[in-house]
Amino acid sequence: MNVEKYLPKKRSLWTYFILEPLYKPVISFFVEAGWHPNTVSFISLAFVVASVASFALGENYPSLFLGAIFFELAYFFDCVDGPLARATGRLTRLGLGLEVAGDSLRNYGALFALTYRYVLSGQYWIFVFAIIFVTFYNGAMWVGYKRLIEKRDHKPERHEESLGFLGKVVQAFFDDSIPFWPLPILIELETLVFFVFPLLNLGDLGVAVGALLSPLFLIGALI
């Protein structure tokens, strides 16, 4: 089947070049096997729980490594459930709710778990960076959800406004047929903070970097 037509028009650089070649055949398999997209959403949520537990309850590098792997697996299946829903005609409000819940629990859960981990080890400074991160990141995330709901409810009169700063930059300099965002967006930030840095045994530095970069994403979403 042609999976491409069920994917979002624009994907992040990380998603398009790294994950998409892996999850396209998974989507095709699930369609042929008759899987319900909500089942995939619950699989993603299970990996979210595993990631948060590994980050929060471990004290050594293996737990940090596993937390990062589980986090990325949760995102991987999060990339699958939406296209699967569109391919099977099973777009529901429950599915949208699971999408929002999954994204929120994955990112905020990982942030709180890492913060808890390092506060227990005496790195109290990380709490300040976590507050900065969650404040700006939360704003950028909900601007994105607002656009998603507007698109779902077919409100073309808000389309130009809902593009956001990054979307307008891409529209101005690149053709719409390009399937990925040429500039980093939230997915790259999530991957950097909760996957790359923990894999390097630098989860505390990842939270600090996320806090410093997150205001840029909120500004970009609001312009």
pLDDT in tens, 21-39: 999 999 999 999 999 999 9
Report DSSP letters for 17-55, one per residue.
IIIHHHHHHHHHHHHHHT--HHHHHHHHHHHHHHHHHHH
Q: With respect to residue 2, please indicate whether it lies within any of the assigned structural domains.
A: no
Q: Is the pLDDT at 61 greater than 70, yes or no?
A: yes
Q: With respect to residue 1, please indicate whether it lies within any of the assigned structural domains.
A: no
Tokens of 132: 């900065």
Contact by Cβ (8 Å): 95, 85 = yes
Its domain, for residue 119, covers 8-222
Q: How many domains does the chain fold into?
A: 1
Q: With respect to residue 3, please indicate whether it lies within any of the assigned structural domains.
A: no
Q: What share of the chain is helix, strand, coil (3-state, %, to 5)?
A: 80, 0, 20
Q: Is the pLDDT at 173 greater than 70, yes or no?
A: no
Q: With respect to residue 58, please indicate whether it lies within any of the assigned structural domains.
A: yes
pLDDT in tens, 94-134: 877 788 788 889 999 999 999 999 999 999 999 999 999 99
Q: With respect to residue 133, please indicate whether it lies within any of the assigned structural domains.
A: yes
Report DSSP letters for 105-136, one per residue.
HHHHHHHHHHHHHHHHTT-TTHHHHHHHHHHH
Mean pLDDT of the chain: 85
Contact by Cβ (8 Å): 33, 45 = no
Q: With respect to residue 183, please indicate whether it lies within any of the assigned structural domains.
A: yes
Q: Of all residues in the chain, what percent carry a pLDDT higher than 70?
A: 83
Q: How confident is the model at residue 65 (pLDDT cuts 50, 70, 90)?
A: very high
| Buried/exposed code over 108-144 (b: 16+ C-beta within 10 A; e: otherwise) | bbbbebbbbbbeeeeeeebeebbebbbebbebbbebb
- The pLDDT of residue 144 is 62
- The pLDDT of residue 47 is 97
pTM score, two decimals?
A: 0.85
Q: With respect to residue 53, please indicate whether it lies within any of the assigned structural domains.
A: yes
Domain of 108, CATH number, reads: 1.20.120.1760
Q: How confident is the model at residue 92 (pLDDT cuts 50, 70, 90)?
A: confident
Report DSSP letters for 63-99, one per residue.
HHHHHHHHHHHHHHHHHHHHHHHHHHT---HHHHHHH
Name the one residue in this structure whose structure tokens are 């005496």: 122
pLDDT in tens, 134-151: 988 887 777 765 665 655
Q: Rounded to 5 degrees, what angle do the CA atoms 124, 101, 145 make?
A: 100
Q: With respect to residue 109, please indicate whether it lies within any of the assigned structural domains.
A: yes
Please compute the mean of the pLDDT values over residues 184-197 and round it to a whole number.
90
